[in-house]
Structure 1
């Protein structure tokens, strides 16, 4: 198992190195001067030269990449001060260290992701298992039809409808906002309840369909028929064999989905005006804050790669054939 994880980790480091090189290259592929974009509309030649020097644009591209990449591990000095590791640079648009902005926005995205994941996992997997258990019956047909309708909905449609129905028209729930859980746990819960409901509605449908199809497939396998032929009860066969066999697909997809959500739910955060990584990426694009865009992209890519490693480890625990291979 340890050798398996070491191989996956080394492969992930290579992937992250490639992603960092490609992301940094895209920074220079944009047909504009990053220093002038960071300087703003009113920019004197002296300020422009200072920003170019601070951003390292007066050096070769290879040296610029080395300073940026090494700063992630060792920190970096700017005219505005020292940036501790992991340092993703300095935003001349926001006049802040990029790492500080990312750390400030990440708790919003984390709360949005974790809360919705708990809901859609419980309801999605539970409903999918019931639908598979009652295959072909009324419950199965209702669950399959409802999940198909919910899957067809989009955040930018379901979000405004939920706001109108639950907030503006009825005042049943609070206007979506983020309050740190350490300051006000109740406010944290009520402020994110509407986004959780909308995200869970769509993702629950996906996991219902996926769980049902995986369970139905496992129930038709030969080892399940053998277990039934040996006299095992239907509940034991369903939970001990079919459910464990279906977990591999669910864990794989969930790990990828969780990494993507943590990287920034752009549409969700924009719809509900939540100041997380997703809205930060949109704002950085609008403001042409290229340094911030590079930082957000690297954080999102790192989260996705890390969760893929976690998925590989979990998958190896579920299926011994994986780690033996």
Structure 2
């Protein structure tokens, strides 16, 4: 187990090393003035001189990359000259909004999608199955931004015109300041993201359960007189969890790097909104920081998924 975990961590560290090298050579070694790329087109000569000194552009490329890597390992992701703040501090202020959105939505889409998938798989071809498949097709057909705009119109603008305030228009409130206000501001974003993702998990659960429920060991468990609930949840669902865990790990990792559409629609100042602003403003230090953070999330999620494989599947052990 320890050797398995050590190999996965070493592989993940190698992936992050390759990603850091790619980002470094893309932004620092590509043709052009790296100081101008980092500081922006409106930077003064004094600012450019300071950036060149910090980057050490007069040194060999390998030495520059070593400095870049050592700083990244200590949490120093550079300095945003447009915002006049360290990139790590800017991202740290945005992570709580994205983390709150993804964590709440993930719990919600699992609570909706997995039971619907199980219901459809237990009654294939029945009326329940058709309801489940209608939910899946509807959820997959609706773009996230359309569902978000509809939610705002139906649950905020129309009640507001009638003098009612059911939900806030958007924005993020810190959990530590007021948990109730935090949840109230996130209810619509959670629901919008969860409904689209629940359709994906319902379809995946249904497909996996249909395969699993036809296996010999399921028929044996039923022949032994086990209840249907125990057959489904203890034997069938455990075997179907592996692809679900894989999908969940990938989805959460990608979303922690920024749920761009949801954050833009609801005005949540998270990592996704920060990335959009950085690309618009050509703020390259922030772009570099967000890319490295996203890579870290993906590697960490894959390691956690591999550990769940060991716990769920005896064949892996």
Question: Under a length normalisation based on structure 2, what TM-score does the superposition of the two structures give?
Answer: 0.93
> Counterpart of 1:267?
261
Q: CA deviation at 1:4?
A: 1.5
Listed as ranges, the matches of 1:84-103 within 5 Å are 85-103=74-92
Query: Deviations 1:242-271 (Å, cap 9, x if unpaired)?
Result: 111111111111011111111111122122
Aligned equivalents of 1:261 and 1:39: distance in 2?
28
My pick for the range that moved more, 34-43 or 263-272, is: 34-43
> Counterpart of 1:15?
15
Aligned partner (choices 131, 140, 151) of residue 151 of structure 1: 140
> Counterpart of 2:93?
104
Residue segments in structure 2 that go unaligned for 5+ positions in a row:
161-165
| Residues 40 and 282, structure 2, Cα contact 8 Å, conserved in 1 | no
| Residues 27 and 37, structure 2, Cα contact 8 Å, conserved in 1 | no
Q: CA deviation at 1:31?
A: 5.4
Residue segments in structure 1 that go unaligned for 5+ positions in a row:
74-84
| Residues 112 and 198, structure 2, Cα contact 8 Å, conserved in 1 | yes
**Tell me, what secondary structure is at the counterpart of 2:159?**
coil
**Residue 252, structure 1, aligned to residue 246, structure 2:** yes
Aligned equivalents of 1:51 and 1:20: distance in 2?
20
Aligned partner (choices 113, 118, 135) of residue 129 of structure 1: 118
Cα RMSD after superposing both structures: 1.6
Aligned equivalents of 2:290 and 2:101: distance in 1?
17
| Residues 178 and 192, structure 1, Cα contact 8 Å, conserved in 2 | yes
Q: CA deviation at 1:236?
A: 2.2
Aligned partner (choices 199, 213, 218) of residue 219 of structure 1: 213
Query: Deviations 1:29-79 (Å, cap 9, x if unpaired)?
Result: 665534224444544333322222223333332222111110123xxxxxx
**Residue 192, structure 1, aligned to residue 181, structure 2:** no
> Counterpart of 2:280?
286
| Residues 189 and 262, structure 2, Cα contact 8 Å, conserved in 1 | yes
| Residues 176 and 193, structure 1, Cα contact 8 Å, conserved in 2 | no
My pick for the range that moved more, 271-280 or 222-231, is: 222-231
**Tell me, what secondary structure is at the counterpart of 2:315?**
helix
> Counterpart of 2:171?
177
Change (3 A) 1:72 1:44: closer
Change (3 A) 1:135 1:189: same
Query: Deviations 1:119-152 (Å, cap 9, x if unpaired)?
Result: 0011111111122222221111111112111112
Aligned equivalents of 2:71 and 2:298: distance in 1?
21
Query: Deviations 1:266-310 (Å, cap 9, x if unpaired)?
Result: 122122221111111111111111111111000011001101100
Aligned equivalents of 2:41 and 2:249: distance in 1?
43
Number of residues paired by the alignment?
A: 312
Change (3 A) 1:57 1:170: farther
Question: Under a length normalisation based on structure 1, what TM-score does the superposition of the two structures give?
Answer: 0.91
Aligned equivalents of 1:69 and 1:13: distance in 2?
12
> Counterpart of 1:77?
none
Aligned equivalents of 2:42 and 2:12: distance in 1?
43
Change (3 A) 1:254 1:141: same
